[in-house]
Amino acid sequence: MLQVETIMQSLTITLYPTSISPPSLDLFPLRQITASVLYPPTAGYNRRGMASRGDSASFKSLAARQTSISSDDDGYCTLVDFAGNGGGGRQGTTVGDDLVVLLYHLQHACKRIASLVASPFNSSLGKLSVNSSSGSDRDAPKPLDIVSNDIILSSLRNSGKVAVMASEEDDTPTWIKDDGPYVVVVDPLDGSRNIDASIPTGTIFGIYSRLVELDHLPVEEKAELNSLQRGNRLVASGYVLYSSATILCVTLGSGTHAFTLDPSTGEFVLTHQNIKIPTRGQIYSVNDARYFDWPEGLRKYIDTVRQGKGQNPKKYSARYICSLVADLHRTLLYGGVAMNPRDHLRLVYEGNPLAFLVEQAGGKASDGKREILSIQPVKLHQRLPLFLGSVEDVTELESYGDVQQTVNPGYEV
């Protein structure tokens, strides 16, 4: 059996030369962002001069190491630029230095995972599995999951800004730093079981503030309680889609924004500012091979919308990738509803972070009966049905009443 340490040693990180000119894209220059959304920055940013990855100093210390933008700088807005200038909030708002530092280290981890996922030397690891008590054999973590988990944990440790990390790959949370201001919940590599077929995968994360009122409790207890916060307390959340492009989609509490990894510079560049999901779409995303296991309400809803007999007179199309991040990304851009009607997806690691992201984009997130962000988690690996998408589509689906699948015969692939 391959050891994680051996796998880690075999990884290579893509180096991004700066001599290659970036492609001509419809990007958002930093000047435009600061003029239309953000307050003017106090200093320019030379993105190639970021502090070392192990540096846990404040963002001000990071910024102090940078020089002003040179005359040949493209001026486009990176994730760190964006967060450091308010994160999409109204003029004069700020997300705080600690959160900017945390995001810098988190995006670095995701760049490493993107390189790992795309490597021809590591793709076969997706077929292997390791023993775990956290789920079924079908959902058992693969070496790629474990390596991705270790990459994220290492980056969060180096940030110096995280008290505890709770991961879908771990049975219990990992306490990192007593005075870390943030709590991070994460699904390190969603969809990894299909990676050998080059199906898109993703990382999902949520960020909470540490509950200082729990500081007096034993480590194990405060680690778990900090990780079981209700979704409406999230400070930030997002996902990274590893596909034909690597896209980091994030909300810092002021809208939803997407950044695309530029391979010529190694930077996440703002490409989708202030995403607004259409109020109604024309696409539903679900594994309808399970149609005969669905409750009557869900079957009736699907039958109705694909015949064009619902509230929208247009016939709906089915689009299903079987990769949660990829299906949701398409839904954010085009509208409609992405769903898993059975108790399968985890509230803490998938439901809450994605629900916050969707609502910040003007969409709706439900378990078929309740708003996701209003549900109080009681277990770290608590599962639930999940319906994400356009407000009118999710509301119409809920109106059919019985849409949660209770029959679960145990599907195998």
Query: 383 or 191: whose pLDDT is higher?
Result: 383
* Predicted confidence (pLDDT) per residue in 247-262, tens digit: 999 999 999 999 999 9
Choose the final residue of a domain: 274, 302, 317. 274
Query: What is the pLDDT, as a whole number, of residue 197?
Result: 84
Q: Are residues 87 and 206 in the same domain?
A: yes
Q: Average pLDDT of 288-314? A: 96
The per-residue pLDDT for 234 is 98
CATH number of the domain residue 261 falls in = 3.30.540.10
Percentage of the residues of the chain whose pLDDT score is greater than 70? 74
Q: Which of 204, 239, 274 is the last residue of a domain?
A: 274
Looking at the fold, whether 98 and 156 belong to one and the same domain comes out as yes
Same domain, yes or no: 255 and 395: no
Which domain does 331 fall in, by range? 283-399
Q: Does 134 score more than 60 pLDDT?
A: no
Please tell me whether residues 107 and 233 are part of one structural domain: yes
Position 140 confidence tier, pLDDT thresholds 50, 70, 90: low
Give yes or no: residues 232 and 111 share one domain.
yes
Residue 50 has what pLDDT?
38
* Residue after which a domain boundary falls, among 257, 274, 291: 274
Is 0.85 topped by the overall pTM?
no
84 and 149 in a common domain:
yes
The answer to whether 245 touches 261, Cβ cutoff 8 Å, is yes
Please report whether residue 259 resides in a domain. Answer: yes
Q: Are 103 and 86 members of one domain?
A: yes
Q: How confident is the model at residue 185 (pLDDT cuts 50, 70, 90)?
A: very high
- CA 370 to chain CA centroid, Å, is 22
Q: Rounded to whole angstroms, how far apart are CA atoms 43 and 1?
A: 51
Please write the tens of the pLDDT for every residue from 79-91.
Answer: 999 999 888 766 5
Q: Is the domain of 220 the same as that of 104?
A: yes
Q: What pLDDT, on the 0 to 100 scale, is given for residue 43?
A: 33
Residue 102 pLDDT level (bands cut at 50, 70, 90): very high
The CA radius of gyration of the chain, in Å to the nearest whole number, is 21
Give yes or no for residue 122 having a pLDDT over 70: no
What span, in angstroms and rounded, lies between the C-alpha atoms of 280 and 408? 30
Kindly state whether residues 250 and 335 are assigned to the same domain: no
Domain membership of residue 5 (yes or no) is: no
Q: Is the pLDDT of residue 19 over 90?
A: no
What percentage of residues in the chain have a pLDDT greater than 90? 68
Task: Return the H-helix or E-strand segment holding 346.
Answer: strand 337-346
Let me know if residue 58 belongs to a domain.
Answer: no
Whole-angstrom distance, CA of residue 5 vs CA of residue 401: 49
Q: For residue 51, is it within any domain?
A: no
Question: Considering the domain boundaries, does residue 170 fall inside one?
Answer: yes
- In a domain? residue 63: no
Same structural domain, 290 and 372: yes
Same domain, 305 and 221: no
CATH number at residue 389: 3.40.190.80
Bridge partners for 208 per DSSP: 183
Residues labelled catalytic:
139, 145, 168-169, 187, 189-190, 350
The model's confidence at residue 373, banded by pLDDT at 50, 70 and 90, is: very high
Total domain count for the chain? 2
Q: Is 164 among the domain residues?
A: yes
From 28-42, 97-111, 350-364, the region with the lowest mean pLDDT: 28-42
301 and 160 inside one domain = no
Residue 215 lies in a domain: yes
Q: Residue 142: pLDDT above 80?
A: no
